[in-house]
Amino acid sequence: MAILIDANTKVLCQGITGSYGGQHAKGCYLYGTQLVGGVTPGKGGQKFEVDAGGGASVPVFDTVKQAVDATGATATMIFVPPGGAADAILEAADAGIRVICAITEGIPVNDMVKARAVLDEMNAGRAEGEKIILVGPNCPGVITPGKKTGAGDKSSDVFTSKAKGGGGCKIGIMPGYIHTHISESKRGKAVGIVSRSGTLTYEAVWQTSNLGFGQSTCVGIGGDPIRGLNHIDCIRLFENDPETHAILMIGEIGGTDEIRAAEYVQKHVKKPVAAFIAGRTAPPGKRMGHAGAIIGGADDTADAKIAALKKAGVEVAMSPAEMGQAVMRAMKLV
């Protein structure tokens, strides 16, 4: 099983005719994602080529509502430029999209404050399974790995292409080929990964795959101060997923999300949990990379978060090179 998305998820790409959106829409399609259409205002009626070799294309629509009505899509990835990205999020939500992956970086904080307030209002009173889920912004997206069937190029997402029956779902910019489906893992166990950092997500996937694990789902929650899903949201989903056997959470300085997650793990999580916190050498008051990675209080530091996680019984990696080994220790395999 998996969380948020699976092989049956029908996906749109908002901003598909842009160079960045188009490039990654093709990568998602070739991975095996059911990419059913794209949205670019003013270009409705056009076709967007997603597989030159196979001659495949998807329709482009002027609005998300038109795309949803025509395709039945329930998820979207947003590559709209920062100035219009918050509006793109709300347009998707209003059209009935349930999983919104906002890849765009640099969305103004004020825009996200307003968008998040609207989403919270829309979700008020909805059942858990009917709520609109925002992933990001400023994130790599979400992937539920497919099987590496066929004899494609192992350094390319084409290796698990739709034509070869990959059966996975990739919504975003991550390199699909490094991920491993549980059925093809040497240990027959899968790790659920949630991370504020895109590149550290890929490193964690690479390490766990090389250690013989699969990944159930990997969620990049993004590095902005105002975002959708947080660590606790994902940990709760992983805890309830029968094919997630361990959880790896990757955090960084800034905010108190990881502190709250440690408290949640201690009270509610029975599965093995490992973690890594980036930014141990970051000076207070200086932003390090992500917009949300700035120490503003005692609980914002890496050391405070590491201490809280250890207190909760989480196995903490002190270096990014040890994330896979921390999972092994958490699962009592070393």
**Tokens coding 29:** 């399609």
For 120, residues 6+ apart whose C-beta sits below 8 A from its C-beta are none
Catalytic positions: 290
C-alpha 82/C-alpha 34 separation (Å) is 26
Mode of pairing for the β-strands spanning 75-78 and 99-102: parallel
C-alpha pair distances (Å), 249 with each of 3, 104, 106, 285? 15, 22, 24, 24
For 309, residues 6+ apart whose C-beta sits below 8 A from its C-beta are 258, 261, 262, 265, 275, 277, 316
Mode of pairing for the β-strands spanning 47-51 and 75-78: unpaired
**Tokens coding 56:** 């495949």
Buried b (16+ CB within 10 A) or exposed e, 41-80: eeeeeeebebbeeeebebbbbeebbbbbeebebbbbbbbb
- Phi, psi torsion values for 100, nearest 5 degrees: -115, 115
C-alpha 142/C-alpha 9 separation (Å) is 12
Are the C-beta atoms of 315 and 326 separated by less than 8 Å? yes
